[in-house]
Amino acid sequence: MAADQELKKQATTWLVISLLSSVFCTSLCIGVGGAVFCYLATQAAEQGLVADAAAKLRWGKILTVSGSVLGLLASAISLLLHT
């Protein structure tokens, strides 16, 4: 039970981070994908499917971080080209 709750807490935290990165880092498609995986991880954790929740959370984190990095790079390049 403790593993379920910890995974759900982590998935919820990463869900918020995914949504914020989607808005602020202009990585809408990848960030939303990360948010979907994090949401699915919370659902799996609620059902007690720890391995499934962990795998979905892992992909949610990967998509969130990669989307944030790509969004920041795209923003930086755009700023450099417009100056």
Q: What is the pLDDT of residue 27?
A: 65
CA distance 15 to 55: 15
The DSSP code sequence of 17-71 is HHHHHHHHSS-HHHHHHHHHHHHHHHHHHHTT-HHHHHHHHHHHHHHHHHHHHHH
Identify the DSSP state of 1. Answer: -
- Band the pLDDT of 83: cuts 50, 70, 90: low
Q: Are the CB atoms for 31 and 76 separated by under 8 Å?
A: no
Q: What is the pLDDT of residues 4-63, one digit of tens each?
A: 888 889 999 999 988 888 877 766 678 788 899 999 999 999 998 999 999 999 999 999
69 or 29, higher pLDDT: 69
CA distance 72 to 57: 22
Number of folded domains in the chain?
1
For range 64-79, the mean pLDDT:
87
- The domain in which residue 57 lies consists of 2-82
